[in-house]
Amino acid sequence: MFRWQVAIATENPRVLYLVIELLKKLDLKFVVCSPGDSRCEDAKVVITTIEDSNNHDAIVIVDEELDPDFTSIEIMSKLNDIHSPSFAVIGIDPGMRFGVALVIDGVVTFKDSLSSPGDAARLSARLESYVTHLFPYCKTIARAGTGSKLYSTLYLRNMNHQFPGLNVELVNEHRTTLSGGVTSDQTSAILIAGRLGRPQTENDRVLEPKEGYIRSLKLLVQRFTRGKRDISKDEARAILLGETSLDSILTSEY
């Protein structure tokens, strides 16, 4: 059994700081040592820079421009002995918060929560690009839950418009909510990723301008902008009918 899951072997103080913060967030056991230190042999993964790299079997090379999401996936993949996976699934739990999880060959390698369907769509596309970079022969799909028609439709619209190359299946969310905790959306996303989905239809991208949907959109915009932006009923209706995008409102100056 490995004494440490990860060893950080670098003399670059900026990289050291960034990696320590990331490993704390991932709740991984780690040791900090000098490049070439024998303690590196007691770790399953060694994180280092190209200048400080050694001959350890499982090295993760980083620099001062560290991408925490990409690096997290690389670390978790190596810790779980994922080398040549065949199938990756991006699970999405749509709602007022969007849970997102990446599951590679049945192993959870990433999870997060986002505040808007546009953010969830962009993260989905980035996760696919990360998998392609790390594992060129691995197939990636997305699976979105259908528990909330409003939010699943807004996510689909973003994906189909901005990232049509990533296949998105729809999944029945029944019994995917196991708790009401802070990260329950991430747990649901993991469960959604593990279920078989169905192809989307034209009806899955259509929304009626219901009063409940209008109220939810107004609340989402208020929360996202921390109360600095409000939308009218007419603006909400335009979003629901597909005449304008929620993303354009959330990314505009307010």
CA distances from 183 to 19, 36, 145 (A): 23, 38, 16
Q: Helices 211-224 and 149-162 meet at what angle, rounded to 10?
A: 60
* Other C-beta atoms lying within 10 Å of the C-beta of residue 138: 17
The whole-number pLDDT of residue 116 equals 94
pTM recorded for the entire structure? 0.92
Tell me how far CA of residue 72 lies from CA of 78, 134, 183, 206, in angstroms.
Answer: 10, 12, 18, 36
Per-residue confidence (pLDDT) for residue 1, from 0 to 100: 47
Cα 231 to its chain centre, rounded Å, is 28
In this predicted structure, what is the pLDDT of residue 175?
66
Written as tens digits, the pLDDT of the chain (254 aa) is: 457 899 999 989 999 999 999 999 999 999 998 887 888 888 899 999 988 777 667 899 999 999 999 999 999 999 999 999 999 999 999 999 999 999 999 999 999 999 999 999 999 999 999 999 999 999 999 999 999 999 999 999 999 999 999 999 999 987 666 566 667 899 999 999 999 999 999 999 999 999 999 999 999 999 999 888 899 999 999 999 999 999 988 887 66
